[in-house]
Amino acid sequence: MTRLLDPLFRTEAMCEIFADRGRLQGMLDFEAALARAEARLGVIPKSAAPAIAAQCRAELFDIEALAHASASAGNAAIPVVKALTALVGKKNKRAAGYVHWGATSQDAMDTGLVLQLRAAFDLIDTDLARLAAALARLAKKHKYTPMAGRTWMQQALPVTFGLKAASALSAVERHRARLCELRARALVIQFGGAAGTLASLGERGPAVAGALAAELKLGDPGIAWHAQRDRVAEVATTLGLLVGTLGKVAQDVALMMQTEVGEAFEPVAPGRGGSSTMPHKRNPVGCAVVLAAAVKVPALVCVMLAAMVQEHERGLGGWHAEWETLPELCMLAAGALEQTVRMMEGLQIDTARMRQNLDATHGLSMAEAVSAALAPKLGREAAHGLGEEACQRAVEQNKPLRDVLAKDARVGNLLSAADIDRLLDPANYLGAAEQLVDRVLASRTRAKK
């Protein structure tokens, strides 16, 4: 990992969770909890648990040596258990014989990962709450702020910026719900022993599993999931969906920041968004980071999905493919989320420019309103054709649509000048935008109760 770029694409807190020390401590927390659970049930001597737990501290281990040993062993848990046993043996030789009792390497690594994921979920949930709050403020403040709605990158009908913010808020709230639901399925121990039967613990295996889950405050899945990887794959897909939404928000902001549009801007900060050569530039740097994550994350999600196809009771290669992929997903998602939070909390809106852009077509974007008013009298197709013809003439003659309509006898026979003025006012053709914003905000309020 390149430290020069870490602050740009990742957060320090998430990097700390998935750093080598964090991965090691997760496995050691598993070993300490296992010893305590087995001692409580009388599976190992009670005196062994504190002796083992006392050595389960990452700072006591040589991570560089463990890394080299992992290359030979095939996974990190084998040298960790060996080193832990040696540390315990220096203090209590008898207790050293009960390190990792009844477990297998994947139990330690997967449960350690789950502990890391729990911490990661907490960070993501906190930032999602901040993002939702920022979007709610924007939706409420700009509920009546008209702007051009755009489809296929062209002006379509008027919308409000509040509606745009509410749309993003609705998606963010769904991600918060997914994360909440995901916790119950993903935050569970892994404990099955060599082949998932807990054979070395005899009939005590399920009881040890339950006690271990209680020690770690994780769920007990009831059966090992060594080769059933839907849990971690669901984490990946959930993060993929989240980053996709963040990418959509960033894309819209970047487009609104274009010089020719100028409707919204990332917050200003010293040294942010400048150019190495052009003093006038205000680049959408936050958007760039989020969009970069949106490009990278789908491929990582694909890796996690492909890794689900594993052999028999313990996979060969698929499990290994997850080790770097899922942490990278978490770090990229956290970085993109932090950038989006900052962006939305400090987003600068130019309402005058929004209105100016809305008026840039000289009424063309309101043609549907005119056709809709004529349809009951002319029929839908005839009214649409008349509106389309009027728009073509307005473009060809470089005239406002109002002038063209005013001179069209077919329109004049059905609509007064006041009617035309009313129909061409964007504020009168916002549909249920206000009501829709209120629904999203009300739904959010109900969810909090």
Domain boundaries, the chain: 15-103+192-224, 117-145+161-190+225-347+434-449, 364-423
Do 364-423 and 15-103+192-224 fall under one CATH topology?
A: no
pLDDT > 70: what percent of the chain? 96
Q: Does residue 274 carry a pLDDT above 60? A: no
Residue 363 and residue 96: Cα distance in Å, rounded?
82
The active-site residue out of 47, 200, 275, 416 is 275
CA 81-84-90 angle, to 5 degrees, is: 140
Q: Buried b / exposed e across 386-410, counting CB within 10 Å, b at 16+?
A: bbeebbebbeeeeebbbebbeebee
Q: Tell me: the pLDDT tens digits for 79-112?
A: 999 999 999 999 999 999 999 999 999 999 999 9
Cα 127 to chain centroid, rounded: 10
Q: What is the DSSP letter of 211?
A: H
Is 355 marked active-site? no
How many angstroms separate the first and last alpha carbons of the chain? Answer: 42
Q: Angle 171-177-181 (CA atoms, 0-180°, nearest 5)? A: 145
In the predicted model, what is the mean pLDDT of residues 153-168?
Answer: 96
pLDDT band at residue 408 under the 50/70/90 scheme:
confident
Residue 307: beta bridge partners?
none
Active-site residue, from 314, 353, 410, 422: 314
pLDDT score for 276? 53
Kindly report which listed range (119-123, 304-308, 362-366) carries the lowest average pLDDT score.
362-366
Backbone dihedral region for residue 271 (phi beyond 0: left; psi -120 to 50: alpha; all else: beta): left
pLDDT at residue 303 in the model: 97
pLDDT of residue 292 exceeding 90: yes
Question: Quick one: average pLDDT of 47-72?
Answer: 96
pTM exceeding 0.85: yes
Fold of domain 364-423: Ribonucleotide Reductase Protein R1; domain 1 (1.10.40)
Architecture per CATH, 15-103+192-224: Orthogonal Bundle (1.10)
269 — pLDDT class (breaks 50, 70, 90): confident
Share of the chain above pLDDT 90, in %: 86
**Residue 280: per-residue pLDDT:** 63
User: Domain 117-145+161-190+225-347+434-449: what homologous superfamily?
Assistant: Fumarase/aspartase (Central domain) (1.20.200.10)
Q: Indicate if 167 belongs to the active site.
A: no
Specify whether the CB–CB gap between 370 and 420 falls below 8 A: yes
Q: How many CB atoms lie within 10 A of CB 255?
A: 15
CB proximity list for 156: less than 8 A, separation 6 or greater: 148, 149, 150, 365
pLDDT the model gives residue 1 = 46
